[in-house]
Structure 1
């Protein structure tokens, strides 16, 4: 089986370049499309009512900033990036929705190999939810 559309789950850190390099190398070999996704914090879920902020404006600014950073990473890739997606909410739900909507057949994500990731791993959540192949790239800290 050859992959047709690779989705790279990006946290916008410097480590994202490692994931991009892996995904682009594979995409070149199999002539696949590549898209990026960043799933941000949903501020409405964190709001406790103790702070007077405009949640819609804060969320909009956050999405705009994330989209700008994704565009910079798309230039870094030196490969055509089909979609740069920014979403907010539950990681598993948002990723699965994007997989279905954009006909993705491989997700590339990173996994930090440190103490906290042994306890709290979003990658483990993805392994239990993702309906397509998942390439987990180890990131040593």
Structure 2
């Protein structure tokens, strides 16, 4: 199958460069487009009690910082990056919505092979929901 638009789900850890390189290596011979996405935590959903900070401002600052980190990865990708997207909320919902909106046909994500990932894997949830093919890259800890 020839992919035309690859979406790379990036958690902004040190492993992000490895995922970007996998995407570039796959996209170049296919002449495919690449987009990056990072789904941030929605702080308003995590805390519903009284709090003495401006959640909207905190969320805005976090999203801006994430966008800057994605742009740095894009600048060093050695391949044109079509979109650098940052969202917040439920990972599966946000990724599925983005896949449909941007006509993505391959999703690349990483999966840590550690104790906690065996118990609580967001990748496993995504596998059950993704409307497109997925490349799950093992990330050893």
TM-score normalised according to structure 1 size: 0.98
Residues in 2 aligned to 1:75 and 1:119: alpha-carbon distance in whole angstroms: 35
Please show how residues 38-117 of structure 1 align to structure 2 within 5 Å: 38-117=38-117
Residues in 2 aligned to 1:70 and 1:39: alpha-carbon distance in whole angstroms: 11
Task: Please list every run of 5 or more consecutive structure 1 residues that lacks an aligned counterpart in the other structure.
Answer: none
| Worse-matched range after superposition: 42-51 or 111-120 | 42-51
Partner of 1:122: 122
| Deviation per residue, 1:103-137 (Å, 9 max, x gap) | 00000000000000000001001100000000000
| 2:17 is equivalent to residue 17 of structure 1 | yes
Residues in 2 aligned to 1:52 and 1:129: alpha-carbon distance in whole angstroms: 37
Residues in 2 aligned to 1:119 and 1:106: alpha-carbon distance in whole angstroms: 26
User: Does the residue aligned with 1:12 lie in a helix, a strand or coil?
Assistant: coil
RMSD (Å) for aligned C-alpha atoms: 0.7
Deviation at 1:51, TM superposition (A): 2.0
Deviation at 1:49, TM superposition (A): 1.5
Task: Please list every run of 5 or more consecutive structure 2 residues that lacks an aligned counterpart in the other structure.
Answer: none
Residues in 2 aligned to 1:80 and 1:115: alpha-carbon distance in whole angstroms: 36
Q: Which runs of 4+ in 1 moved over 4 A?
A: none
| Deviation per residue, 1:24-82 (Å, 9 max, x gap) | 00000101000000000001101131421101100100000000000001012111000
TM-score normalised according to structure 2 size: 0.98
